[in-house]
Amino acid sequence: MLKDKVAIVTGGTRGIGFEIVKTFYEAGAKVVFFGSKEESVLKALEKFSKENVKVKGYYPNLANYEEVEKTIQEISQEYGQIDILVNNAGISADRKIEETTSLDFQNIMDINVLSMFNTIKAVTPLMKEQGGGVILNTSSMVSIYGQAAGVGYPTSKFAVNGLTKSLARELAPYHIRVNAVAPGIINTDMVAALPKEVIQPLIKTIPLGRIGEPKDIANAFLFLASDMASYVTGEILSVDGAARS
């Protein structure tokens, strides 16, 4: 589905991002992933190697535009094109507002929104020049209805949705599609570490009767990245087992 496409995946060292990298590679893409630091990138490369997934990893500071642009230019020069950008890097929050400092809030916005803006800004001229591309963003089910605490996280994901819908309109004339995937409760390391008494009540709220797997989300990204979604742009695709309802 992605034969000979060149894809960049941020936040690709673990969880959903790791699965997206693997899925894209298996679909025929040449994949470069970003991680937050050298140690996590090297560890992910080792894991990919054991699964015979041949990819490259970088660790630019995504909140620093100059650093992001330099890295993306290097990738463009090496591969000759960038067809797909997946903005998956992000952090969550669960503190009450009284316990959240303005610096905490700013940090979430920098990682979840500013970094996304920076990568898109850096890759857009390249995609325009080559005649098109695909930009995909990771949103969240909480971008639809919020959450009980950790206001910075849903705020950032509401912003991701606005960025996605607006850029879809702005970039459509250049044949650049922009979409987002909004995962529900997914079986990542963080969720797997929760005790059963916490997980079981969550599962009961999901009409499909189970939490999602990273592969469920990666497959949604694969569809949106492929030509099968050639007429889809400006969408926030919920992948949550109908939990939002």
Tens-digit pLDDT profile for residues 206-219: 999 999 999 999 99
User: pLDDT at position 244, please?
Assistant: 63
| Rounded Cα distance, 85 and 32, in Å | 10
- Pairing mode, if any, of strands 176-183 and 133-138? parallel
204 domain residue, yes or no: no
Q: Flag whether 202 is in a domain.
A: no
Collect the ranges in the chain with pLDDT lower than 50: none
CATH number of domain containing 225:
3.40.50.720
How far is Cα 88 from Cα 36, in angstroms, rounded to an integer? 12
100 in a structural domain: yes
Which of 58, 153, 174, 231 is labelled catalytic? 153
Q: Give domain status of residue 108, yes or no.
A: yes
Give yes or no for a contact between 68 and 59, defined as CB atoms under 8 angstroms apart: no
CA nearest neighbour of 40 among 20, 59, 64, 53? 59
Indicate if 153 belongs to the active site: yes
DSSP 8-state code for residue 126? H
CA distance 41 to 208: 34
- Residue range of the domain that includes 155: 6-186+213-239
Nearest to 12 by CA among 125, 77, 37: 37
Mind giving me the DSSP string for 178-210? EEEEEE-SB--HHHHTS-HHHHHHHHHT-TTSS
- CA–CA gap between residue 224 and residue 204 (Å, rounded): 29
Output the pLDDT for position 192.
75
199 falls within a domain? no
Question: What pLDDT was estimated at residue 214?
Answer: 97
Total domain count, the chain: 1
What are the tens digits of pLDDT across the range 32-88?
Answer: 999 999 999 999 999 999 999 999 999 999 999 999 999 999 999 999 999 999 999
Does residue 208 form part of some domain? no
Any idea how long the chain is?
245
Quick one: which of 183, 123, 185, 136 has its CA closest to 163? 136
Asked if residue 55 belongs to a domain, the reply is yes
Residue 170: C-alpha distances to residues 72, 156, 164, 177 (Å): 21, 21, 10, 10
For residue 198, being part of any structural domain is answered with no
